[in-house]
Amino acid sequence: MDKKLLSLLVCPVCKGTLKWDKEKSELVCKPDGLAFQVEDEIPVMMADKARALTTEEKLAK
């Protein structure tokens, strides 16, 4: 994920900061418990397409 692009993106639900999960190729918003998939280096920033985080993922640092 391009660092400049990552610095511009925010969660579409709460407008909060997103964390890049390189292993899963997702942008994660912990406060909302959502993970947004990145497909072919293009973030899919639609709340209805986001994956809900598991309890373990929400509690992990």
The CATH number of whichever domain residue 17 belongs to comes to: 2.20.25.10
Instruction: For residue range 9-55, list pLDDT tens digits in order.
Output: 999 999 999 999 999 999 999 999 999 999 998 999 999 999 999 99
**Which range marks the domain in which residue 51 is found?**
3-59
SS3 content of the chain, % helix, strand, coil (to 5): 25, 30, 50
Burial of 23 (0-12, 13-18, 19+ CB in 10 A): exposed
- The number of distinct structural domains making up the chain is 1
Instruction: For residue range 27-36, list pLDDT tens digits in order.
Output: 999 999 999 9
The pTM for the full model equals 0.89
Residue written as tokens 């918003």?
A: 29
Which residue type does 19 have? K
